Each structure stands twice: as C-alpha cells, then as structure tokens.
Structure 1
Amino acid sequence: MFRLKLLLLLPPLLQAGVSSAHDHHDELREQFRSALLQATPLSHEQKTAFSAYPLYPYLEYQQINSRIDSASAEQLQAFIDANADTPLAGRLLFAWARSSGEKKDWPAFSQAWQQIQRPDTRLQCLHASYLLDTQQQQDAWEAARTLWTVGHSQPDECDPVFSQWLKSSHFSQQDALNRHLAALMRGRPGLATYAARFITQSELQQQAKLARSLYDNPEQLTQQPQLLSPETPHADQMLVLAVNRLARQDLEQAIRLWVRERDRLQVPAEQYDSVSRRLGVLMAKRFPAETDPLLASLDPEHKLADLSGWRVRLALVRQDWAEALSLIEKLDEAERHTDRWRYWKAIALEQLGKPGREALLRDLATERSFYGFMAAQMLDTPYQLNDTPLVQSTDAKQQLAQLPAFVRIRELLALERYYDARSEWNLAISHMKPEQIHAAAHLAREWGWYDQGIRGAISSQRWNDMQLRFPNPLPELFEQHAQNRAIDPAWAVAIARQESAFWMQARSHAGALGLMQLMPATARATAKRHAIPLPRLSLLSEPDTNIRLGTAYLSEMAERFNGNLAYASAAYNAGPYRVSQWLDARGDLPLDIWIETIPFDETRNYVQNVLAFRVIYERLAQRPVTLFSPQEFNMLALYQQNDG
C-alpha cells in the first residue's frame, strides 16, 4: 500500500486536539520506533510516557518476550490476561509454551497449553513429551503415534518422545507399515525406507515390499491384477498409490487401471471421487482427440462437478453444440444455474436453432459478472452493477473507530506494521456481526487500507457494495502511465485490483512484488527495455515505480497479442510464452471458448475477472465501455458461427 499520511492516521480522539497534541503524538510515535529497537528494559520514565500510547502493549510484549526464559508464570499470565483483546496474548502464549516446554518446566507448559486453541506441530510434540514426563503414558503414546504415522518428517521437538515410543511395547510394526505407506503416498521414498527398517514380521514385510514395488513399477498392476485383492491389507491405498504413480507416465493407462479396479478393491467413497475427479480433469486439460468414453467411465452418472464441467468444455472445443447442451443439462441444479453454464446453454440453443436463447441472455444480462457482461453486450443493453452502497451514520463509524482495537490498527498502519494491523483486524472482527464488519471495512477504506476494505466486503458478504469492493486510490498515476504506454488505464487498474487489491506491500509465494505484482526478473528486464530507473527492488513497493513498470509490461503484452486484452491479460498472469503455446494449439477457437478452456484454473478466472473489473471501473466512473472491442466481439462463438 502507498505510504499513508500520518495526520490521517492519528486516533480519532487525538485528531480533535490542537497542533501541539499532534506534535506530541508524532514524537511518541518516533520514540516508539526507537524503543522497539532497543534491547534494554524500559525506564520508569519511558513507561510513564508510553502508558497512554495506543501501542504500549506492543512494547510490553517485546520486553516480556525478550526475557521469557526468566519471566515468572505470574508475570506472563498477567500480560496475557491484560491483553486478551489483542493478538499479543496469543503470541505470548505460544512463546511461553515453547519456552517452558523446551526447558521441561511442565507446570508452566501446562498452564500455557490449556489456553491455546490451535497448537502447531512443534507444540503438539512438546505436549507429547509433557504427557510422558508427567506419567500420562497412554495419552503420550497415542499422541506419539498420531505425530509419527505421517508421510513427512516432523520437527526436532518430536524426537524425545519418538525415541522412547519406538522402544516401547506400544509401538507396533503396523505403525511402521502405516508410515511406510503414508510416505510413499507423499512421494517420500527415503522416509518410507526409514520406516521399513522397523518391520521384521514376514507378512508386514511383504506388504511393505508390495507397496514399494507398486511405487517403483506401477504399470505391473495393469498386467497383474492378482497382485491386489479385496483381502489384501491396504489394497485401496496401494491402488491409489499405483494409479497416482502411473499417471505421471501414462495418464490414459492410469485411468483405465483406476476404473477397472476401484470397485473391486472397495475404494472408500471420498477417495473414489477425489481420484476420479483429479484424473479426469488432468486428462481433459490435455485436450486429447478422443476422450469422451474414457472420461465418461470415470463419472458415468455426472456426479463430479469439476469433471462434468470439463466434459462440457471439450464439447465446446469441438463446437459440438448438441453434446454441449446435453452435458449442461446433466449438471446438478446448482451448477447448471451458474452464470457460466446459463451463458453456454444460451449459445448452444442459438447454434442449434432452438428457442430460449434470448430469454436466458436477458436474465443473465442483469448479473454483474463476466458472463452477464457478455450477455449485455450481445443484447446491447447497459451493464448492470447492482450497486448497494452502505447506509450508515457517521456517528456509528466514529464509535467503531474509537474502539481500542481500531485505535491500535490505525496507529499500526501509520507505522507500516501491516502484519500486526491485520492480526488486530482479524481478532476484532471475529466477534462482530456482518453489518459491523461491513462498517469496519468502510473505515479501513477511509484510512487508505483498501485491500482490507475489500477483504471486509468479502467477510461481511456485501458483494454489491461497489465503492468498497472496487476502490481506485491512484487514478492519476494509472492515467498518466497507462496513457504514456498507449493502453487503457481502466485495464491497468483492473489488473492491479486482481493482483494485489491495492496492497503495495503484497508479495506472492513466487516472489512477485507490489501493486501490480511484478516478478523481480520481469521488473529488471522491463526497466532496462524502457529505460526506467530501478536501482533497487525495494522501489517496487512504491506506487509510481510499480505502476510505471507494470503498465510498460502490459503495453508489451498488448502489442505482442495485437491489442487483444484477453490474450494479453492471460500473458500477464501465466507468461507470454505459455499463452503463445495455447494459441498455437487452440488459437482458431472462438474467443469466448478459448477463454473458457484456458487449462490453468487460476489464469481462466484471472482473465474473466480482469475483463469484468475493467467494465466495473469504467461504469463507476460513468464512462462508456464495452467488455470486448468490436474485433474481439466478432471473435465470439455466436458471431463466428453465424458469419460462417
């Protein structure tokens, strides 16, 4: 998020004060920054000065956490009780439990443990040691079994209880076989080998060897079904193991094996559906020439929505409108009535010369969605935003702003401590009604915390509050840099809305940074090509640099794909080389079918959202807009077919 103005972020009661009060508060804020960096205890004078500062509990937390090994249980509990309405209580509880557990101070550990609602694995391991050391052996062994019998390595904190459990009479070779199987299922053959060392019984050894053989050579089961029978222990797991491994080598053969054996080997319903769905969708996304019988064999009764949807998509790729319509009618009622399948039903009806297309499109055109906007453009009717703004008194929001949690949140935002601010927010709204969360989201928006305002709209399920869900905090920058690159500013805004929800500090798991989520390598290369200064990557957290680079890269995608915003948006998300591959393979498809059959679910949703968001932003600005350009519109299935 762009740097917030400090004056705006002063707590409401302080805003009413005079300039000297502002100066004093700014001075406290700077002293707070300094105090967080110092390792020495606060002096009495500092404590007195900070006592009225909203974030004083954060200083107290740092102080007590820094000496947690020497703090008494009474001191720790007193802090937790006094700050139960802040995230700091939970943080200190975890730290206290870890510290006391590592020291084997079991009375203190027990006191902390009893207050923790969702312990992590490390704490669960320490708890198992606590049970063992406090003579609660049966519970300790059960905890050890649960922690050990998994398909991955566990934290070092588990080692003490594991070492004793493995030597005890409560550990069984069946436990070892279970971990062996779990490790193979997770693709951890080294861990499976380790677990197999504990198996000495001949019968269990044979089971372990069979599982490993199927892992190493899964195709043998296709020729030797007798390797597994309903009486074989863990037959269902071994079948899943073999099928998953075989799917890496020969997906079609894996599907045939799965269909042949899943009933015979009595696979449980949940796994039955899960594996069938995954194999079918994997196959469909490869767009093979002949798949219908194979996919139908996976789900003959059309119970799996994801797979059924892909069977419709494959019919669309073939432009087999009769088959597409038939498959749509077989979807369950809820799925059949989504915007997506109502749209494709309307197109199929039109292509088949059957009545009902216009009524479907007219109903669909009332929706604020990608499909609703397509329908509206086809009917040449206005795009409907269905905007329902918040109606609430200013007094109600001011009262909310003066709650201690929101006073702290606002000050944390001023200090750019976004993780802490979000933790405070999550705890504060956990006890609120939807209408209160909705009001809090508007408060966040007024403070410039736009991404949290958007999340608040989602949390309160206020989908029709357009002001909250679609802010545009930097219109001048988007306008300037987009126009400099000869691209549509609303398209750039829509990209930023989808990428980061306008959180400047956003960082993806892949490492993309800032408002428009630029990968470092892409940012550097774009900066070099366009002579944009980028001396350090930290500048990607500044709005001007990020938008300047993002719009420059967007302009490259638009040029590469001849101004087609669907292709260019897909390239921004999935990369231009991958989109070029998709176009080489299926570029002759009508544009709406091409979008519908993008094999990456994330990219398909991304493209549809970006195109729809662009319309929403233009409508909110009361500017004329169409979802598709005339050229793009003529590429839709309905018009290509009619023109042919």
Structure 2
Amino acid sequence: MKNSAWAVLAAVLWMAMPAGGDPGDERILLAKDAARGGDRGRLAQLAPPTGHVLDLYPEYWALSNMLARPNDVDYARIRDFLQRYPGSWPAEKLRADWLRFMGKRGDFGPFVAEFDKLEQPEQDLKCYYSQARLASGDPDVLAEVRPLWFSLVDTPEACVPVLQALVREAMVSPDEMWGRVRRLMEAKRVTGARAVASWLPADQQPGPADLDKAAANPSTWLDRMPINFSASRAGRELALMALARLARDDPQGAYARYLGINERLSAAERGYVLGQIGWQAATKLMPDANTWFRMAGDTPMSEDQAAWRVRAALRAGDWKAVKGAVEAMSAEQRSQPDWTYWLGRAQQALGNREAARKAFERIAGHPTFYAILADEELGRSFTLPRKARPISTEEFDQTRNAPGIQRAVALFRLDLRTEGTREWNWALRNRDDRFLLAAAQLAQQLGIYDRAINAADKTRNEHDYSLRYLAPYRERIEPNAKSRDLDTGWVYGLMRQESRFVTAARSGVGAQGLMQIMPATGKWVAGKLGMSGYNVGWLQDPDTNVMLGTTYMRMVLEGLDNHPVLASAAYNAGPGRAKRWKDAKPLEGAIYAESIPFNETRDYVKKVMANSIVYSALLDGRAPSLKARLGTIAASDGSLSGVGSAAPGAGLDTPSAGAGSGE
C-alpha cells in the first residue's frame, strides 16, 4: 500500500478510536494491518518502539512474518526479542513458532536449547523434542513416548517419526498396531490408519486399497469378502472395521451382517464388533443399544464408547448396567463428576445408600450441574459461597499495572479482541485468588464482561459470584424476560453461555450479539413480531438482540412442553432435534440432558441449567431445586411439527438461535 493510502487508513482508524486512546495507537493498528497483508517493508518501518504499551507487537508481528519466509530467518533477532520480553505471551508464541520452524528443518541443536524455556508446549513440539532426543541417542525416550501410541488420534506430522521408531525398535506388538489401526478407522482417519497398517509385519498387511474400500463402502466390502476371510489376521480385521464403519450409518444392518459371520470370529473380535454397534446405536438413541453393549461384555472401550455405554443404560432405566458401565471405566474417567454422580444414583437405586452418599459427597459443593444435583441428593440446596473480602486499592493497582494486564486492556481498547483475550489469559496463569478477583473487578469496570467472568471463574478458595456470574444489561434483560413470562435466571444463564455478555460476539456459524441469534432466525422472529425492514445489523444492537432472543425463547418454550431443558437444547441445536431426542417413554430431565447426542449441545444444556440456578440465587436470594427444574421429559409423540419446522435456522439439521459462542 502506498504511503498516502496508509495515511488515510491511519486517520480513519484514529478517528474511530474510543476516548482515552494513546497517541501511538494508530501505529499499532497500521502494523496489525500490515501483518495481515504480509507487508514486511511496512512492518519494518512500524516496528521501532515509541514508548507505547504495545510496543512489542509490531516487532512480534514482523518476526512472525519472517518465520513464514524460511530462507530469511534471523535467529539472533528472535533471541534478542525473547530476551527483552521474557514471560510475555508474544514471546511464548514466537518461541513456539520458532521451535516449530527449527523442528521442521531438523535443526535440533538450537531447538533443544530453547525447548525448556517454553511454558506450554503443544503436542507437535513435544514430538519434535522427542525426535531431537532420538537423534542424540537418548535411551529413555521411547519408553516415555510409548503412551502416545494409544492416546494420539489426530497425529501431528512431527509425531509420525516417533511412532515409527516405536515400531522399528519393537516397542509395540502387532496386536497393538492393529489396535491403533482400529482406533484411527473409528475416528475416520483413514490416511493415518493406512500408514500404520503399512508398518505391520509383511504377512499381516492388508492390500494397499483395502482399508479405503472398507471405509468408503462397507456393505459392498462385506458382500465381496472372501469366504475364507477369517483365515488371515488382515481378513478378520478388515471385516471388523467394515462392520464398525457400517454401524455408523446403520447399526441394525451391521448387527444383521455380524450374525452372518460371528461364528468365524474369536470371542474378543465378537466383543469388539458388538461394542462398536452398541456405541453407534447409543449415539442414535436406539433402544437396542443397551442390549448390544451387554452382549459386548468386558471388551475394551474408548472413553467415548464407555460414556455412551452409561448413557444407553440410563435411557433403558437399567441401573445395574449403569453401575457396571461406570465401574468398568478407567479410574481417571470414573472420577469425573458426571460418572461419579451416575454411579451414586445407580448405587442408590440398587439400595446401596452408603456407597451412594460417598459418591455424592466426592463431587458436591460446586456450582456445576452434577455438583448441584449431588448436593440435592444429599438433602442440601445450592447456596452461594461466602463472598471474598473486598479487594484493596493496593491489590487493585498492582493487578492493573501488571504488564500483561496493561497490554490486554490496550488491545481490547483497539478492538483487537483475539490478541487481547490471549494476553489476558496468559497474564492470569499461575495467579492467586486475590489477583484473579482484582482482574475480574477491573474487567467489569471496563465493560470487558467475558474476561471478568473468565478471571472470577478461576478462583480456588476465595470467590465472588457477583463477578463470576455477572448480570449486566439488567435494565434491558429483566423487562424483556418478565414481559414474556420467562425466568430471568434462565435467560441470564443462557446468555452467559452464549456470549459472556459481549455485544459484538459472532460465532463461527454466524450467530450474533448478546443472545447469539442466527440471522435467518432473527428475520423469522422479527416477521412474527410484525417488524418490517429487517436487517442483519439489528442483531448487533443489544436492545433488539435481547428482544428477539427472549421472544424466540418464549416461542420454543411453548412449542416444547414449556420445558426449559428442551427449550435450552432447541436454542442451541434446533427444536426439531430437541423433539427427536425424546424417548418413547417419559425420561428424567437429567438423563435427557446427559444423552443428548451432540457434545456441544449436551455440555451447553447442562451449563445453562446450572447457570440458571446460580443466577436465581443471586437475583432472587434463593436457589430453586435443579432436579425439580429438570423435571421429566414427556414421551415422544412421534411428531416433529411446530416451531421446529417453521423457524429458519432452527429446524432438524441446522443450529437454532444460539450457537454457544460464550466459551
């Protein structure tokens, strides 16, 4: 861009800045624009410091841009930057990018010298470090990385040589190699599965295209499978993987195919197939899922499989199977609040009251979905914790003047939210409760509500729920909620999950504003209200956004049995789906929530409902029963008509008004 054009842009950006801006702000904004465009010359002009709180950013962007040009990387310049800005987020990010650059080149000498200075290495960098240790002849590295064989699914390219070294040194057996092929095929990582299959002993390797064919068209593969398929390990494994792939689309059909060949499979192989069929059936909420899981016996299962085994048993009302499924989980998974709660419920249903009490006690006392439910099973309602003592002026000033906090605040002022959020989160790492509470208070005062919640949410011993569960815009939200006969705590609970009260929030699928309304849904609701001239820009206006969002909440609530659990699911995933997830019999609300097939929506509904209890305690002075609010989900009537089929963006196959961008 020519200098005159840059001057025009600087003037426009400067005029658009809010009051209180720094005289050097325009340089930072121009440097950011140059970085986006890859204009190295302009970045070089803008990089020299001027005393601005964000001085390191133009230089950081220039060095990052340099790393993208592999033939022009100056290690000395990078080292100099890292030495001048130790402990900063840009230094951490630049060091990580530099390490990645060196790892790809196999430049392991300087890589090793820098790796230990990185605070939070990602998996690919850990694998490059393992490569460096392998190259140096470190005798311990393979034993240390062997667990990656079993845990990595999305495998960074840097990790492939490490996994190959495990095979080369016979640190994994052929059975373990086949196990990895299965896991990759289950996760739809056919290319990775093909690569691992090529490392198998020659007499066990499948044909070059066999895995692709079994994955692409499992029915055809099974139809054309040789009669003597079971004579070889590769033949049996391909049959298992084809059945597992078919189960994704048609569990009943996969089971029928399985019955045709099960006598030629070993007991372990039969258990594997039945476990796969049960898993896929459970995600489709099929009533046969629990039976198939029972038939699978004690076959090893992934964490996701194990979770769906519990969910299938819950929907079947089979408390003995719930208990067995939770107890079969790994100790780490079993200790999660979700499964601790359901184990307690199973123990309770089976008459083991003391075991149930112990399970509930392990997770009670927190403002989360299962902790609140556990408290209620113990006869206690949710109560707000004692409020932390006020932040002193000295504590507040110390936090406000922390370099990372100052940079974050400046970045938010310039509407560089991505960089501001990263700086903020980095500045809060390893901080004590007093710093976190002071940071939350500062963010609240500045109207950066999502970061206020983020900071207050991290406290461990001292808490301030008025910051953790902020209730801004009350003059807008409360009248809208009351006029539509909505529980204000539920509205706030949903909004906290949707946008964290960021008025300009925009999700990856296009949902906008405080209540994260999809443009098509906003248009539909506006039409129902008789509002003409709809423009998607309306969604950025807080008043209009709240009006449309609360109206939509009332509509889905009325269309879904006036049940807040169904309405919350509908807000995120669409009313049609919320209806489809019902059962043929009445279902406990908590079981419905736990068995929602979409991970995002399942997590969303649980958080919204738990949020609603905390907000009720804050706004009304007392908390209602979460279990009572979850209630019972009426049996499905087989109909998907109503609001779900009428609202654009809210039907069977598209997200509804909200997209859960608050996380």
In the superposition, the TM-score normalised over structure 1's length comes to: 0.66
Q: Shift of the alpha carbon at 1:479?
A: 1.5
Say if 1:434 and 1:461, in contact at 8 Å, map to a contact too.
yes
Give 1:455's aligned residue: 454
Q: Which moved more, 1:574-583 or 1:593-602?
A: 593-602
Give 2:313's aligned residue: 312
SS of match in other structure, 1:586 = coil
Mapped partners of 1:85, 1:254: distance in 2: 54
The change in CA–CA distance for 1:243 and 1:74 in structure 2 (over 3 A counts) is: same
Mapped partners of 2:341, 2:440: distance in 1: 28
- 1:86 alignment partner AA: S
Give 1:60's aligned residue: 59
The change in CA–CA distance for 1:560 and 1:43 in structure 2 (over 3 A counts) is: closer
In the superposition, the TM-score normalised over structure 2's length comes to: 0.65
Provide, for residues 516-557 of structure 1, a one-character-per-residue CA deviation record: whole Å limited to 9, x for no partner. 222232223323433557865455344333323211221221
Provide, for residues 484-512 of structure 1, a one-character-per-residue CA deviation record: whole Å limited to 9, x for no partner. 44433322211111223333444444333
Give 1:29's aligned residue: 25
Count of aligned pairs between the two proteins: 561
Q: Shift of the alpha carbon at 1:114?
A: 5.5
Mapped partners of 2:251, 2:504: distance in 1: 41
> Could you say which structure has the greater relative contact order, defined with CA pairs below 8 angstroms and 6 or more residues apart?
1
- 2:310 alignment partner AA: G
Q: Shift of the alpha carbon at 1:475?
A: 1.2
Say if 1:151 and 1:184, in contact at 8 Å, map to a contact too.
no
Say if 1:524 and 1:534, in contact at 8 Å, map to a contact too.
no
Give 1:421's aligned residue: 420
Q: Shift of the alpha carbon at 1:620?
A: 0.7
What does 1:175-324 correspond to in 2, within 5 Å?
187=188, 207-208=207-208, 210-211=210-211, 214-215=214-215, 216-217=217-218, 220=222, 226-228=228-230, 232=232, 238=238, 240-252=240-252, 254=254, 257=258, 264=266, 279-300=277-298, 305-316=306-317, 323-324=318-319
Say if 1:457 and 1:463, in contact at 8 Å, map to a contact too.
no
Say if 1:376 and 1:382, in contact at 8 Å, map to a contact too.
yes
Give 1:619's aligned residue: 617
Q: Shift of the alpha carbon at 1:359?
A: 8.6
What does 1:211-610 correspond to in 2, within 5 Å?
211=211, 214-215=214-215, 216-217=217-218, 220=222, 226-228=228-230, 232=232, 238=238, 240-252=240-252, 254=254, 257=258, 264=266, 279-300=277-298, 305-316=306-317, 323-324=318-319, 327-328=322-323, 331-332=326-327, 334=335, 338-340=340-342, 342=344, 368=367, 370=369, 383-391=381-389, 393-394=391-392, 395-432=394-431, 436-437=435-436, 440-461=439-460, 465-531=464-530, 537=536, 540-583=539-582, 586=584, 588-589=586-587, 594-595=592-593, 597-610=595-608
Q: Shift of the alpha carbon at 1:192?
A: 9.2
Say if 1:504 and 1:543, in contact at 8 Å, map to a contact too.
yes
The change in CA–CA distance for 1:245 and 1:67 in structure 2 (over 3 A counts) is: closer
Q: Shift of the alpha carbon at 1:188?
A: 7.3
What does 1:100-111 correspond to in 2, within 5 Å?
111=110
Q: Shift of the alpha carbon at 1:627?
A: 4.7
The change in CA–CA distance for 1:88 and 1:586 in structure 2 (over 3 A counts) is: same
Q: Shift of the alpha carbon at 1:266?
A: 6.5
The change in CA–CA distance for 1:272 and 1:513 in structure 2 (over 3 A counts) is: farther
Mapped partners of 1:602, 1:119: distance in 2: 24
Mapped partners of 2:193, 2:263: distance in 1: 25
Say if 1:482 and 1:551, in contact at 8 Å, map to a contact too.
yes
Give 1:86's aligned residue: 88
Q: Shift of the alpha carbon at 1:250?
A: 3.7
Q: Percent identity of the aligned residues?
A: 23
- 1:619 alignment partner AA: A
CA RMSD of aligned residues (A): 5.8
Provide, for residues 337-385 of structure 1, a one-character-per-residue CA deviation record: whole Å limited to 9, x for no partner. 8445545765787xxxx99999999989977555676799999x88322
Mapped partners of 1:595, 1:285: distance in 2: 13
Give 2:144's aligned residue: none
Mapped partners of 2:204, 2:412: distance in 1: 59
Q: Shift of the alpha carbon at 1:619?
A: 1.5
Q: Shift of the alpha carbon at 1:472?
A: 1.0
Mapped partners of 2:202, 2:377: distance in 1: 70
SS of match in other structure, 1:621 = helix
